[in-house]
Amino acid sequence: MMNHSNLPPFSMQCTPNVAKLLTDLNCSIGISTYQAGKVIMVSPKNEKQLVQLPRNFNKAMGINIQDNKLLIATKDEVLVLTHSADLAKHYPAKPNTYDGLFIPRAVYFTGQIDIHDIAWGANDSIYAVNTSFSTIIKIDHNYSFTPVWTPPFITETASEDRCHLNGMAMKDGKPKYVTAFNTGDSPRSWKENITKTGVLMDVDTNEFVVKNLPMPHSPRIFDGQLYVLLSATGELASVDIENNTVNPILDLGGFVRGMDKCGDYLFIGISKIRKGSSTFSKLPISLRTKNAGVKIVHLPTAQVVGEIAYLNSVDEIYDIHIIPNLIRPNILNTQRPDYKHGLATPTQTFWGRDKRD
């Protein structure tokens, strides 16, 4: 048996075809893990090997990409990073290594509101799930947050995580569907019967699409079809809006959370059950989840065709987002000064350096 304690941090293993698949799809995988405090870029080094780049982001949760802009929700901030191929090419530490570089350009100081899913909306608006206050919000420079929709069963704006609102599916540039663990209206009421009271709701109509779900997460619309992850049973499911039913597609054998699509493939995050948690230890999948990582599902055949598994360091994954058209992206955070030296105008880029009086 392999002794994982002797391995370097963030050691992972994968099925042999993953690097080739990412190469063929011309993409990388972005992973957020609040437990490890990282956003990790996983890329094909070649058609047989993967390479990863973990960067520190304090309690990284929801991530989202639109065009060349990356959103990262952290413990008490929302960061906006923009991509530059030219800055990547001339990155001083490793020139001619990366085909893209996401560099911080703006930060919103939201305070600790426990943002879960986050997404770009129409006209560069930013929507997020404010789990602490049980509401969908907009993020801008005017306030900590601006509420735009709250479930009708929530009667008060309070930082009490009443129903564990967590997931958000976007349609036409705005939130369309959301997931929550229950319909309670008291502090952390969702903990009472966590595996049977989840709901999927329509934001426009305030109606329930489906009830009695086992810890729903990550609702997503792909090619007009709504999907959802059922974390307590480890299942990927599709949603029949007209008939108000959820139809399981595949049992992934782990706590599923975080999902994106590229081509015919879904990339789905798998987490280990949180140690010492009386709530999560009761889940039936707890004995089956050995490694956190990513499972790749070929959607037309509903088959797992690839897997990335972390052998250490990563136990819980929150979000997965595909980085399209980049097979070796770099990302900088604000904890080191490198990002201050990457300068860009609409027509030029420069790498500066420290200047002393």
pLDDT digits (tens, 9 = 90+) for 270-312: 999 877 676 776 687 665 778 999 999 999 999 999 999 999 9
The number of C-alpha atoms within 13 Å of 353 and in the hemisphere containing its C-beta is 4
Q: How far is it, in rounded angstroms, from Cα 11 to Cα 222?
A: 31
Q: How far is it, in rounded angstroms, from Cα 117 to Cα 314?
A: 20
- Specify burial of residue 145 (Cβ count, 10 A radius: 0-12, 13-18, 19+): buried
Q: How far is it, in rounded angstroms, from Cα 40 to Cα 295?
A: 16
Q: Residue 290's pLDDT is what?
A: 84
**Predicted confidence (pLDDT) at residue 3 exceeds the cutoff of 70:** no
Q: How far is it, in rounded angstroms, from Cα 281 to Cα 201?
A: 27
**Predicted confidence (pLDDT) at residue 15 exceeds the cutoff of 70:** yes
Q: Where are the domains of the chain?
A: 16-351
pLDDT digits (tens, 9 = 90+) for 340-354: 999 999 999 999 976
* Across 235-248, average pLDDT: 97
Q: Residue 284's pLDDT is what?
A: 74
**Predicted confidence (pLDDT) at residue 96 exceeds the cutoff of 60:** yes
98, 119 Cβ separation under 8 angstroms: no
Q: Residue 5's pLDDT is what?
A: 65
pLDDT digits (tens, 9 = 90+) for 24-50: 999 999 999 999 999 999 999 999 999
**Predicted confidence (pLDDT) at residue 1 exceeds the cutoff of 50:** no
Q: Is 180 helix (H, G, I), strand (E, B) or coil?
A: strand
Q: Which CATH architecture has domain 16-351?
A: 6 Propeller (2.120)
Q: Residue 357's pLDDT is what?
A: 40
Q: How far is it, in rounded angstroms, from Cα 216 to Cα 229?
A: 6
pLDDT digits (tens, 9 = 90+) for 106-131: 999 999 999 999 999 999 999 999 99
Put residue 122 in one of left, alpha, beta given phi > 0 → left and psi -120 to 50 → alpha. Answer: beta
* Across 67-92, average pLDDT: 97
The residues pairing with 137 across neighbouring beta strands, listed in sequence order, are: 128, 147
Q: How far is it, in rounded angstroms, from Cα 7 to Cα 61?
A: 26
Q: Residue 193's pLDDT is what?
A: 86
pLDDT digits (tens, 9 = 90+) for 262-276: 999 999 999 998 776
Q: Residue 89's pLDDT is what?
A: 96
Strands 329-331 and 100-109: parallel
Q: Residue 354's pLDDT is what?
A: 66
Higher pLDDT, residue 173 or 285: 173
Strands 342-344 and 349-351: antiparallel
Q: How far is it, in rounded angstroms, from Cα 322 to Cα 296?
A: 12
